[in-house]
Amino acid sequence: MTVKAYAAQAADQPLGPHAIERRAAGPDDVVIAIEYCGVCHSDLHTVRGEWGGTLFPCVPGHEIVGTVSAVGSAVTRFAPGDTVGVGCIVDSCRTCAACGEGLEQFCASGMTGTYNSRTPDAPGHTLGGYSEQIVVDQAYVLAIRHPKDQLAAVAPLLCAGITTWSPLRHWGAGPGKRVGVVGIGGLGHMGIKLARALGAEVTGFTTSPAKREAILALGAHHVVVSTDKAEMKAARESFGLIINTVSHSHDLDPFLMALARDGTMVMVGGPEKPHPMPTLFHMLTRRRSLAGSLIGGIAETQEMLDFCAEHGVVSDIELIRMEEIEAAYARMLQGDVRYRFVIDTGTI
Ligand code: NAP
Ligand code: ZN
Ligand code: ZN
C-alpha cells in the first residue's frame, strides 16, 4: 500500500513529503495506523549523514505509537483497535544467543532497525515512523497500557525511555544508589524520571543553567551545572552510576571524577566526532568503569512500558506538525526543547 511520509533525499536536503510503499501484511504482521512519532537526536544524526551509511530516501522515526488497523492470519498477540508501540527494532535473527536472551539489540546477525536497515521490502531499506502507517512483525510490537490521552507523551518511551531504563536496570539503580544523568534532553529527562521512579538519589548534570528549576521539577534531587568548575568540584567522588546522554563530543574527565570508587559511567550518546580520550588514571585510581549501552530488548521495553503505565511516567513533550520538523531539528541542536518533540502524524 502507498503511504504518506516525510523523507530526506540526501544528507544536505531538508525533509519533505514523500510517498512510500508498505508491504502487504504477511501472516505474522501487524498493520499500525501511526498517531504519534517522537523526534530522537538519532533521527537527526542519521538524516544528516553524521554517522555515515545513511540510505536515502531516509524516513526516520523510531518512537512510534498508533492503533492496530489489521493483523495477519497468525497474529495472536494483537487485534484491530489495540494501542501499540514500535521502538528501534523491527526484526532480528531470533536464533542467536543474544536474541535468545531477549537482547535483540545485540543480535549476532545485526538487528533490523526501524529505519535505515537493509530489508527485502521496497526500497531495500527500512523506513521509519515519520509516516502514516507501518507494518511490523508481531514479535517486535509493544502493548501500550497508558490512558489514551497520554499517547503523544508515551511515544518517546519507545527510544528515550528504554535507552535510559536499560542501563539503569543493568547497573542496579534503586534505593541507596546515587545516580547522575548528563545532558538533559530527550534521553536525559527520561533518565531522571526513571531513576527517580526506581528509588535512586538523582542528580542532573546540565550545560544549561536556565534548566535548573525544570530539572528539579522532573524529579531530580540535585542539579549540577557542568560548565561551573566549582559545582563540578563539589560533585567529585559522589556517584555509583552516571548515564551520559550528551549528543556531542566532550571532555569526559570531569564526569569520571564525579564517580565514587567502583562507579560506572555508561555512555549512550552517539556524537558525530569521538570524545577526546579520557584520562585513564581517573579510572585506575578509584577502580572506575566506562561502559556503553544500546537501547534495550523487546521484553525489556515491554517491562519499561508497563512500569511507566503503573507509575504514571510519561515524557514531557512539545507536539509539532510534520512540516515543523526542520525547525524542531534546529531547536534540538541548540538544546532548546523541553524535552522531546513529538510529531502528530495526522498532519503529514
Ligand atoms: P537531545 O534531546 O538533543 O539531548 C542532548 C542533550 O545533551 C542536550 O539537551 C544538552 O543538554 C546536552 N548537550 C548537547 N550538546 C552538548 C555539548 N556540546 N556539550 C555538553 N552537553 C551538550 O538528544 P537525545 O535525543 O536525548 O539523544 C542524545 C544522544 O543519544 C544522541 O547522540 C543520540 O543519537 C543518542 N542515542 C543513543 C541511543 C542508544 O541506544 N545508545 C538511543 C537513542 C539516542 P543540557 O542542555 O542539559 O546540557
Ligand atoms: Zn532514538
Ligand atoms: Zn539474533
Name residues whose C-beta falls within 8 Å of residue 280's C-beta, 6 or more positions apart in sequence.
Answer: none
Per-residue pLDDT reduced to its tens digit, 7-51: 999 999 999 999 999 999 999 999 999 999 999 999 999 999 999
Tens of pLDDT along 84-142? 999 999 999 999 999 999 999 999 999 999 999 999 999 999 999 999 999 999 999 99
Ligand 1 center–CA 75 separation, angstroms: 37
Average pLDDT score over residue span 327-347:
96
- The CATH classification number of 2-159+315-347 equals 3.90.180.10
For ligand 1, say whether the CB of 180 is within 6 Å of any of its atoms: no
Indicate the Cα dihedral angle 142, 143, 148, 154, nearest 10°.
Answer: -40
Sign of the CA dihedral 155, 159, 164, 167? positive
245 lines ligand 1 (CB under 6 A): yes
What sign does the CA torsion over 284, 178, 275, 208 have? negative
Say what angle helices 298-311 and 160-170 make with each other, to 10 degrees. 100
225 within ligand 1 shell (Cβ under 6 A): no
- Whether 244 is in the pocket of ligand 1, judged by its Cβ within 6 Å, is no
Residue to substitute in 157, 245, 336 for testing ligand 1 pocket (most ligand atoms within 8 angstroms of CB): 245
Query: Could you tell me the CA-to-CA distances from 207 to 33, 182, 184, 213, 229 in Å, in that order?
Result: 38, 9, 9, 13, 12
Q: Residue 262 has what pLDDT?
A: 98
Query: 295 in ligand 1 pocket by Cβ < 6 Å?
Result: yes
Q: Which atom of ligand 1 is nearest to the CA of 335?
A: 9
3-state secondary structure of 90: strand
Q: What gap in Å lies between CA 44 and CA 140, rounded to an integer? A: 24
Nearest CA to 24 out of 102, 90, 110, 122 is that of 122
pLDDT recorded at residue 117:
98
Q: Which CATH number is correct for 160-292, 3.40.718.10, 3.30.530.20, 2.60.40.4070, 3.40.50.720?
A: 3.40.50.720
Could you give the C-alpha distances from 274 to 10, 176, 256, in angstroms and in order?
A: 24, 33, 17
Q: How far is the CA of 295 from the centre of ligand 2 (A)?
A: 8
Q: Is 221 in the pocket of ligand 1 (CB under 6 A)?
A: no
Give the pLDDT of residue 69. 98
Contact 182, 205 (CB under 8 A): yes
192 lines ligand 1 (CB under 6 A): no
List the domain boundaries for the chain: 2-159+315-347, 160-292
Q: Which atom of ligand 1 is nearest to the CA of 204?
A: 47
Dihedral sign (CA 299, 303, 306, 312):
negative
pLDDT at 313: 98
- 231 to 205, 219, 220, 221, 254: CA distances (angstroms): 10, 20, 16, 15, 11
Q: Which of 118, 116, 126, 129 has the alpha carbon at shortest distance from 50?
A: 116
Question: Which pLDDT belongs to residue 195?
Answer: 98
CA gap 319, 347 in Å, rounded = 11
Per-residue pLDDT of 217-237, as tens digits, reads 999 999 999 999 999 999 999
**C-alpha of residue 163 to centroid of ligand 1, in Å:** 12
Say how far apart CA 59 and CA 46 lie, in whole Å: 10
Ligand 1 site, residue 129, Cβ cutoff 6 A = no
The alpha carbon of 184 and the centre of ligand 1 are apart by a number of angstroms equal to: 7
Q: Which of 181, 203, 246 to probe ligand 1 with, by most ligand atoms within 8 A of CB? A: 246
Mean pLDDT of the chain: 98
The x, y and z cell numbers of residue 40, run together, are 530522537
Residue type, 287: R
